[in-house]
Structure 1
Amino acid sequence: MKQHVIIFAHPNNNSFTKALVDEVVKSSEQFGANTVVRNLYAMNFNPVLSQEEMQGAWQGIIPEEVLYEQKLIQQADLITLVYPVWWMGFPAMLKGYLDRVFTHGFAYQSSEQGSVGLLQGKKIQQFINIGNNVEAYQAKGFAQALDVCLVNGLFNYCGITDIDHQLFGDLYVISDQERKNMLTQVGEKTLQNLTAL
């Protein structure tokens, strides 16, 4: 059975971002994947990486809650991230999750020869909401910057090269039917990515 971990970062459980998560879950369960949702706000996940924890990671000392998340990531065939872009980046909750979970010795290893990603063979899909128009976002170079830094850059560094992402914009001005079309796209993309594993 395929393992699918969904990481959701939005404080509003009535948001369109949450509706995207629900659609991913529906398609994943329809496919028959073992589906686990990590709702970071509902979990009250502590996103703050302390100096003590950072130093401990280099010595293999990892808090239990982080070890649990790492185990889920390690077992996952497909990892889905669903989040809004705020101020050109991840919500702080998601950034902190990645800071704490994607540690040295788990996500990457460094030596005198350089760094090596340790999460090869994983597949990631990202569904990203922006308040702006997608075409305007692309024209200003923001979409490319997002891709280079957050979509591919970060995860490529950890050894993950099979990454798919979609931006959804104009959420405050589009029709209900257009939102439904976006949800359909997300469901179809999830089934497509699970089938390809």
Structure 2
Amino acid sequence: MNILVIYAHPYDGSFCKGILDTVVPAMEARGANVKVKDLVKMNFDATMRPEDLKATVTKTYTAEVQQEQKDVLWADAIVTICPIWFGSVPGFLKAYFDKVFITGFGYDYTGGLLQNKRVFSLFTFGSKDPYLTLANQYKGIEYLWDNIFSMVGFKDIAVKYFQGVPRATDQERAQYLVEAIEFVDQIYDKKLGEIGQIGAGELLVKLVIEGKLVMPTVQIEE
């Protein structure tokens, strides 16, 4: 089992780092080959450059993007770990998928090109319910994840939330870490397709294949 972990937090003392340091050994203990992408320490370029956009036509990717695409193809599953800021994932994590899953690699007019892969995402919140529900933060994240991962053909999209992390007690945090391990254990304990999609992404791809819907494409003017 090959697992690619994409970690997006700038502070090594964060609870997200605690999750990372907990789930990676747990997955390795179950026999996984794990690669960790710490986007901050990698200094991943979060800006969409002209050459990145042109690659939708030329298929000539930067060396940085090529390496990430190679690792995505290597992985059976992706695990993401990040905080939620202003109701969404950090911009540099979204930028990673914008650049790596770009048209021509992640999807084209026929549908998703990264079939039978899975994503398991762990998110931390500073706030708690009822605010998170009233502010539609769960829905916003799930719609975003469905649009990204269903678009490129992922079979399973699973999410796990941890509320009120800054004010959580040591006991609560310890329980959160137990739950984090149980969550990633699904990569082994659940068969491909058992978790399924969050929303309508799979249906949209089906409509494309049937010729009832046209996938979006990037327009490049020479």
- TM-score of the superposed pair, with normalisation by structure 2: 0.82
Q: Following TM superposition, by how much is the alpha carbon of 1:192 offset from its aligned partner in structure 2, in angstroms?
A: 2.5
Q: Mean Cα displacement is larger for which, 70-79 or 133-142?
A: 133-142
Secondary structure of the residue aligned to 2:80 is strand
Distance 1:134 1:5 in 2: 31
Calculate the aligned-residue CA RMSD, in Å. 1.4
The residue type equivalent to 1:176 in the other structure is D
Distance 2:137 2:9 in 1: 21
- TM alignment of 1:1-197, pairs within 5 A: 2-110=1-109, 116-149=111-144, 151-197=145-191
Report Cα offsets for 1:16-42 as digits up to 9, x if no partner: 011111111011111110000000001
Secondary structure of the residue aligned to 1:172 is helix
Secondary structure of the residue aligned to 2:40 is coil
Distance 2:126 2:22 in 1: 20
Distance 1:137 1:159 in 2: 29
Greater percentage in strand: 1
The residue type equivalent to 2:40 in the other structure is Y
Secondary structure of the residue aligned to 2:11 is coil
Distance 2:129 2:114 in 1: 30
The residue type equivalent to 2:67 in the other structure is Y
Give the 3 Å change call, closer, same or farther, for CA 59–134 of structure 1 in structure 2.
farther
Distance 1:23 1:134 in 2: 25
Q: Following TM superposition, by how much is the alpha carbon of 1:142 offset from its aligned partner in structure 2, in angstroms?
A: 2.0
Q: Is the 8 A contact 1:152 1:161 kept in 2?
A: no
Secondary structure of the residue aligned to 1:41 is helix
Q: Following TM superposition, by how much is the alpha carbon of 1:65 offset from its aligned partner in structure 2, in angstroms?
A: 1.4
Report Cα offsets for 1:117-167 as digits up to 9, x if no partner: 111200110001111104431233221122112x22221111113011011
- TM-score of the superposed pair, with normalisation by structure 1: 0.91
Distance 2:84 2:50 in 1: 27
Q: Is the 8 A contact 2:107 2:113 kept in 1?
A: yes
Secondary structure of the residue aligned to 1:12 is coil
The residue type equivalent to 1:140 in the other structure is A
Secondary structure of the residue aligned to 1:13 is coil
Give the 3 Å change call, closer, same or farther, for CA 52–126 of structure 1 in structure 2.
same
Distance 1:4 1:146 in 2: 22
Q: Is the 8 A contact 1:10 1:17 kept in 2?
A: yes
Unaligned segments of structure 2, at least 5 residues: 192-222
Say how many residue pairs are matched: 191
Distance 1:142 1:191 in 2: 25
Distance 1:160 1:3 in 2: 15
Unaligned segments of structure 1, at least 5 residues: none
Instruction: Give the equivalent residue in structure 1 for 2:202.
Output: none
